[in-house]
Every structure is written in structure tokens, then in C-alpha cells.
A and B are shown apart, each in its own frame.
Chain A
């Protein structure tokens, strides 16, 4: 049996590895995607004062620390049975919206955008952020840096720090914002809305108006039918900060809807001995292996998943874009993995609009941003939508608020099974009778990058391509051929 190794695929927080095994006919027998990283937060947080969890768990991921900080802080509200004052909730959501703007900007322009803007078949040297800037203009590059940085300014203003915020406390946030800060945030938000509109227009001009690209988005090789998951508000619209988790089946029918406290009734995690990452799945459907369809508990939690589970967006401009996406692609739910890029840009616009709404909220500069808890701490679950998927933090404490047990189901982990399936699908489509197409590298990485995979949870390759090594061995495991992408 031939063995194909792709290692490292990218910085999967310690380098992911793909092993592809061919059968005697030279077709793909199986493909394994391995994550070689573990740190042990679920154990070493035991014994810590629970109010310290937003500080400690933000170090799960330095790329999306805001998501862990916020899930932890919401879990603290639940542990201490405290409902924060309304201005505090709004400040948290404002910080969180600004974070989404920065994160989605990074993903589109620096990671995924080059595939589309430069084209999947462009020379490799051009398929990166610099090539993108050359094509769309230096001023666009400057604008990307400016808008990413300004969004992080807002994170810093509310959160205290631009990386690893420190503001989250049970019952609210550590400090209010001043009128001066509010005015600055409003200015930034206005500019971010224009930037998001510009980005969607760019996507329109370069991707959607190109039939080849549109066909690529619609092609079967990138389509996987799974369940979808995401947070929705009371009117079933997309929400990042709060609401209920809604799950739809591959036909788009509501399968489950639950509040944070009930997550254990809906999620289980499967273990394999050859990877450190577990595979979450829908408990009520069951684990049937790495397969899609209605009979398999595999689900996805991505920007596209959030739209598939929702009835629309809560802000006007984003809602128009939402409808346009479903009108263009013609059905709901959308199963095409590549449409995730489009959904991400609609979320960028929503996040910017939501920033603007909140910056103009009369309560946002209120001094009433904290309520001191008085109840005895015991147990609580906090859920937010991380950019890469529904994020769940669950803590149990003793009566003094010392952590006894922790459970975490982290953004990208939700998509672990689906990512593995997408890799196998791409391999099967491109390896036939021992012939290994050079295009395999492109296809695997494009399928992959749509998820914005972030293991542990942090993977971000800057240029437009992932480092890929593909080794082909014969039956005796002698190296026959090596494809390397530089």
C-alpha cells in the first residue's frame, strides 16, 4: 500500500499532519488528519480561583483570546448567578464586535483572499498578501492594516489590552468607557462599515462576477452535507455574543435549540488514539465515523453554518447581503465549504454595523458596568460564537469559588470531523490509479482554509499558501516522489 504524507500542512499549532494511504489500485483507501498538540487546560485549571478563568483561558488562543475571555466571563456570570447590568453586556458585545471585525479582516485579506483575488492557479509567488496588494492597489493594503488596527484599538479601549484583554469579571466589566472613547469608537465603526462594504464589493467584482469562481464555489468536490450549528437571538438571527445554540439538519430543518446550560444533552466527543484532538458530534444523532449526511452526528460551526441556522441578520445592510447570498446560490442550507468565505464577509459587515449601533447606544457610557455577586458560586456554562465556531466553557466550583472541574469545547474543534472529511474528499477527487495531480496541494489547502482552522485554537499562515509536503512511498515505504510547495 502506498503512503502519502503531507507534513506540515500549516502551522496547526504544532504542525498538523495528513497521511494518505492508497490501495492496490492506487486510489485513496483512507486519509488521516492528525493534530499533534495538547496543553491540558481542562486539568490544570482545577484549583484556580474561578474569577481568574478569563485571564487563564484567554491563553488557549492568542489569535482569538477575546472569544475565550468572553466565554469564560459569561460562564462566571452563571457560576455566580449574576446578571450583569445592561451597559456591561453592551460593552462586552461592543468589544466582541470589534474583535470580529479585526479577525475576519485578517482571514479574508491575509489568509484566504489571495486564493480568489489572485486566482487558484496564479503563480505561487503571487498568491499572498503582497500579490493581493499589487493587484488591488497599495492604498487597499494600507486600508487593511488601518482597519484591522483600529478595530483592535477598540478592543484595547474596552478590554484594557489589545491582545489578551483583562476586563471580564462576573457581573460585568472592570471599567466603563468615557465619552471621548465612545466618540472615537463611533468614528472607527463608521469607517469599518465602509471598509466592509468595500470588501464585499471586491468579492463581488473578483469572485462572484467570474463564472469559473462561482462554479468552483458550487462544485461537488467542495460540498459536504452535514448538520450546522450557531448562536441565534430571539428572532433566530445570527448573534456572536449571546442567545441560543440552534442546530439544523442537512435539509435545513431545526434539529435542536438549546441554552448554554443544556449543552451536555446535545454534544459528545469521540476519541481516536492517533490524534490529540477529539471529535465533537451531535449526541442525539450519534458518532458514525467521518461521514456526512443526516444519519451522522458530524456538524459544522463556521460563518456559513451560522447563516444556515439563522433566518437572517440583525443589521440592515448585512441582512440584504445575507438574502443576496442565498438568492445567488439558490438553496438553503448551503453545503459548499467555499461559500464560507462569502458568509465571513457578511459577518464582517454585520460586526461593523453592530459596533456602530452599540457605539451610539445611550447606555454605552454608563458608569453602571458591574454588579458584585452575592450568591454562592457553584456551576456555570458560558457560550459565545468564536469566529471559528461555537465556543463552550463549563466550570464547576466549590462554595468558595475554587474550580473543581472544567470542560471546554473550542471553536475549530467543532469542525474537526468535517475538516478531516474535506481533506479526504479532495484527496479522493485528485488521486486516481496512483496518479497524483499537482493540483491536489491547491485543492486540499483551499478546502482547508475555508474553515480558517485554528488548532488549540490558533493557526494563521500569513501568505496565501500553506506549506505542504507530499511524500509518496511505494509498498516498501521507499520514497518514490516528493512534491513540495515553496
Chain B
């Protein structure tokens, strides 16, 4: 039997998901014997035209990382969907929008204005902005369109599986690869390479009564290393976040920021965190509750840091 054919692609993201695949090290060499990689621009020399000329559904599995922020990202998402039997949204950006989706708190115009006109080092007396099509003396130059709203892969094309994490940790990547290559496939739409419980369930810190009197920011206190950070007033996304990462940030005495996306059964990670947090406020009356809540200085950027595009909020109003 022929080896299964796999593809990897990188849209709007940082590339950390590709490095996460490299972290497989010698396991990757093992995989490469059992799988034919037919498209992997970061690593192997295949072209768009190679993919375009492939028959439909001729790729067995495509791991797609990154959000959809440009017309090129969208084109490749559609093309790879057409050519792939299984399309996997790989990593936080493809799954929930990730950090690039924080762009949805602003707008295309505001981003272009800031980057090309306002920053203190920019020298742009004529107010030039990048254009998708520009006539220069010698001919015409084109670049992709930059979108106003960042979308997830699942909001752009039909997705079969989701692998959360920024980036997914190596052990989880390995288990996902083994399952897919081995044909050990869960129901379509499943989140794979993660736990079915919350991060709190795998965090070793001692949980107290979680009576929060005051929200504390990470730079304001050196936290105790044994006890739950929420008990210490530090916002930790553990209750709203899917486990599976090994709670590495917590071991480093830093809070979870939610990169593994919402806990199972929850669509909106931010709303889940908001309700978990507010139920822990140690307040007898509305005024106390408001005082504590005022300590949350950036609700969108904190509760939706890695999942804004996929959330019910999705973006700020224009």
C-alpha cells in the first residue's frame, strides 16, 4: 500500500507551529518513512502550481496553521481544502484566530495608518500605503489584500479536526501524527492533541477557596509557587482553558493565558472565564463586585487572547 500523502501549510502566524513539528526530532524522521510529504513550503521544495495540478482529495491529510488575514491565506485555505481528504486546523491561530486575531480589536484602516504613517520612525511625507496593484515605471506589481477581519480556518473552509496550542506541545503533535497515520480517527469536528478536561485539572498547584478580593497583575507581585494563582488574585485562564499542554507556564510561576482554547463543550472561552472569575469574587454587594472587576484592565485581550476570531464577539464594531 502506498504511503499516505501529507501537506503542511503556514498562513498568518509566527511559524512556531512549524518549529513545533521540527521538535519531533528523530520521530519526524520516523514519520517521514511512513508518510509522503507532498507540500511543505517551509521545509520542502514544492510550488503552488504543484498543488493546483493535483487531483481533488489527493492529499490524505493537510496540517494548516495560521489564521486567515490576507487574500493569499484564503486562496491557499480553499485550495488545500479542495485537494485534501482531511484538513486539520493546527495550532491556536488556525483554531481560534490566535494572537493575529487581536487585530479584530481594531481595523484594517487603523492598522495601515499606524504602521505606515504614524509610528515615530516612519518617514512617509506623501502618505503612501501599500496597494494590491501598483504600476511602476517598468510594469505592474501586485501583493495580496490585507483583510479587515481575521478569521479562523474553520470560518473559511470546512475543517475536519482542530489541534489547539500556541504552539501545540511536541508530545501532543506526536500523538496526533501517530493517530492520523494509523487511521485512528475520532469523529469529524473533534479537538485532538489535547485533554478532555480543563487546565486546572492537570495543574499541580493547591486549589483554595478562590475568594478573590482584589485582582493583581503579574508585575505587581511575586506569586507563591505552591498555590493556585487565582487564589492569589492573579488572573489565570486555567478554568476556561482546555488542558493537554502540561501546564508549563504555571510551572514557570506565570499564569495560563489560554492558548489551548476553550474547555470542551464551550464555544466562547472569554465568556466562560468571565463567569468563572466573577463567581469567585469575594463581594457582598454590587459595589464590591464592581471594584474587584475594575481590576480586570483588558477583558478582551486577557480572556480572548488566543480565541477572539472564533468567539461570539469575533471583532470590535467598526
Contact of A161 among B116, B134, B249 (CB under 8 A): B249
The answer to whether A370 and B222 have CB atoms under 8 Å apart is: yes
Return A29 CB to nearest CB of chain B, in Å: 6
Contact of B15 among A35, A62, A486 (CB under 8 A): A62
**Interface set, chain B 208-234, CB cutoff 8 A to A:** 217-222, 225
Contact of A30 among B138, B252, B253 (CB under 8 A): B138
The answer to whether A161 and B248 have CB atoms under 8 Å apart is: yes
The answer to whether B219 and A407 have CB atoms under 8 Å apart is: no
Asked if A483 is at the interface of the complex by the 8 Å CB criterion, the answer is no
Which residues does chain A contribute within 8 Å of B41, judged by CB atoms?
A: 8, 10-11, 15, 461, 467
Q: Once the chains are docked, how many angstroms separate the CA of A34 from the CA of B98?
A: 26
Asked if A373 is at the interface of the complex by the 8 Å CB criterion, the answer is yes
Contact flag A462-B119 (CB < 8 Å), given A40-B111, A160-B254, A372-B221: no
Minimal Cβ-Cβ distance residue in A for B18:
A62
The answer to whether A43 and B129 have CB atoms under 8 Å apart is: no
Asked if A409 is at the interface of the complex by the 8 Å CB criterion, the answer is yes
Return A239 CB to nearest CB of chain B, in Å: 23
Asked if B318 is at the interface of the complex by the 8 Å CB criterion, the answer is no
Q: Once the chains are docked, how many angstroms separate the CA of A267 from the CA of B122?
A: 9
Contact flag A163-B72 (CB < 8 Å), given A61-B15, A170-B219, A175-B253: no
Q: Once the chains are docked, how many angstroms separate the CA of A109 from the CA of B170?
A: 22
Stretch at the interface among B45-53, B78-86, B156-164, B276-284: B45-53
The answer to whether B121 and A3 have CB atoms under 8 Å apart is: no
Contact of A160 among B130, B137, B248 (CB under 8 A): B248
Contact of A48 among B23, B49, B252, B301 (CB under 8 A): B301
Contact flag A49-B298 (CB < 8 Å), given A62-B14, A485-B45: yes
The answer to whether B130 and A166 have CB atoms under 8 Å apart is: no
Return B159 CB to nearest CB of chain A, in Å: 21
Asked if B265 is at the interface of the complex by the 8 Å CB criterion, the answer is no
Asked if A465 is at the interface of the complex by the 8 Å CB criterion, the answer is yes
The answer to whether A372 and B222 have CB atoms under 8 Å apart is: yes
Q: Once the chains are docked, how many angstroms separate the CA of A225 from the CA of B177?
A: 48
The answer to whether B120 and A264 have CB atoms under 8 Å apart is: yes
Query: Count of chain B residues with Cβ under 8 Å from any Cβ of A?
Result: 82
Q: Once the chains are docked, how many angstroms separate the CA of A484 from the CA of B46?
A: 10
The answer to whether A59 and B98 have CB atoms under 8 Å apart is: yes
Asked if A80 is at the interface of the complex by the 8 Å CB criterion, the answer is yes
Stretch at the interface among B55-63, B101-109, B182-190: B101-109
Asked if A233 is at the interface of the complex by the 8 Å CB criterion, the answer is no
Asked if A250 is at the interface of the complex by the 8 Å CB criterion, the answer is no
The answer to whether B116 and A271 have CB atoms under 8 Å apart is: yes
Q: Mark B69-112, 1 if CB is under 8 A from A, else 0.
A: 11011000000000000000000000000111011011000110
Stretch at the interface among A274-282, A318-326, A341-349: A274-282
Minimal Cβ-Cβ distance residue in B for A454:
B15
Which residues does chain B contribute within 8 Å of A10, judged by CB atoms?
A: 41
Return B66 CB to nearest CB of chain A, in Å: 9
Contact flag A65-B14 (CB < 8 Å), given A32-B136, A162-B23, A170-B219: yes
The answer to whether B252 and A47 have CB atoms under 8 Å apart is: no
Q: Once the chains are docked, how many angstroms separate the CA of A485 from the CA of B300?
A: 46
The answer to whether B219 and A278 have CB atoms under 8 Å apart is: no
Q: Once the chains are docked, how many angstroms separate the CA of A264 from the CA of B72?
A: 34
Asked if B303 is at the interface of the complex by the 8 Å CB criterion, the answer is no
Return B317 CB to nearest CB of chain A, in Å: 15
Which residues does chain B contribute within 8 Å of A402, judged by CB atoms?
A: 297-298
Which residues does chain B contribute within 8 Å of A166, judged by CB atoms?
A: 248-249, 252, 254
Q: Once the chains are docked, how many angstroms separate the CA of A373 from the CA of B217?
A: 12
The answer to whether A278 and B122 have CB atoms under 8 Å apart is: yes
Minimal Cβ-Cβ distance residue in A for B104:
A44
Asked if B257 is at the interface of the complex by the 8 Å CB criterion, the answer is yes
Which residues does chain B contribute within 8 Å of A160, judged by CB atoms?
A: 248-249, 251-252, 254
Q: Once the chains are docked, how many angstroms separate the CA of A164 from the CA of B249?
A: 10
Stretch at the interface among A50-58, A288-296, A306-314, A423-431: A50-58
Q: Once the chains are docked, how many angstroms separate the CA of A394 from the CA of B18?
A: 28
Contact flag A8-B47 (CB < 8 Å), given A15-B72, A80-B219: yes
The answer to whether B219 and A401 have CB atoms under 8 Å apart is: yes
Q: Once the chains are docked, how many angstroms separate the CA of A3 from the CA of B137?
A: 12
Contact of B43 among A32, A48, A373, A461 (CB under 8 A): A461
Specify which of A10, A42, A372, A465 lies most central, judged by the most chain B CB atoms within 10 Å of its CB. A42
Q: Once the chains are docked, how many angstroms separate the CA of A278 from the CA of B257?
A: 31
Contact of B123 among A36, A287, A400, A463 (CB under 8 A): A287
Contact flag A174-B252 (CB < 8 Å), given A36-B144, A59-B98, A163-B23: yes
Contact flag A43-B221 (CB < 8 Å), given A34-B141, A269-B119, A407-B120: no
Which residues does chain A contribute within 8 Å of B15, judged by CB atoms?
A: 13, 61-63, 458-460
Q: Mark B123-149, 1 if CB is under 8 A from A, else 0.
A: 110001111001011110101101000
The answer to whether B221 and A47 have CB atoms under 8 Å apart is: no
Q: Once the chains are docked, how many angstroms separate the CA of A56 from the CA of B166?
A: 11
Contact flag A51-B116 (CB < 8 Å), given A36-B144, A280-B121: no
Contact of A11 among B10, B19, B302 (CB under 8 A): B10
Asked if A123 is at the interface of the complex by the 8 Å CB criterion, the answer is no
Q: Once the chains are docked, how many angstroms separate the CA of A274 from the CA of B144?
A: 10
**Interface set, chain A 84-126, CB cutoff 8 A to B:** none
Contact of A49 among B72, B99, B297 (CB under 8 A): B297
Asked if B6 is at the interface of the complex by the 8 Å CB criterion, the answer is no
The answer to whether A268 and B139 have CB atoms under 8 Å apart is: no
Return A284 CB to nearest CB of chain B, in Å: 12
The answer to whether B219 and A51 have CB atoms under 8 Å apart is: yes
Minimal Cβ-Cβ distance residue in A for B256:
A166
Asked if B206 is at the interface of the complex by the 8 Å CB criterion, the answer is no
The answer to whether A270 and B123 have CB atoms under 8 Å apart is: yes
Asked if A39 is at the interface of the complex by the 8 Å CB criterion, the answer is yes
Return B51 CB to nearest CB of chain A, in Å: 12
Return B23 CB to nearest CB of chain A, in Å: 7
What are 25 residue pairs bridging A and B, where the CB atoms are less than 8 Å apart in the complex?
A8-B48, A11-B41, A29-B138, A30-B138, A37-B70, A38-B115, A39-B100, A42-B119, A43-B111, A44-B106, A48-B102, A62-B14, A63-B19, A164-B166, A167-B252, A169-B219, A174-B254, A271-B128, A273-B128, A274-B134, A283-B123, A401-B217, A460-B42, A465-B45, A467-B46
Closest 3 CB pairs of A and B: A62-B16, A160-B252, A458-B15
B residues lining the A interface (CB < 8 Å): 10-20, 23, 25-26, 41-49, 69-70, 72-73, 98-100, 102-103, 105-106, 110-111, 113-116, 119-124, 128-131, 134, 136-139, 141, 143-144, 146, 166-167, 170, 217-222, 225, 248-249, 251-254, 257, 297-298, 300-302, 305
A34-B143, A52-B298, A271-B124 given; 15 more Cβ-contact pairs under 8 Å: A13-B15, A21-B138, A40-B111, A42-B111, A42-B115, A63-B19, A160-B251, A160-B252, A160-B254, A163-B23, A273-B128, A394-B120, A401-B219, A467-B41, A467-B46
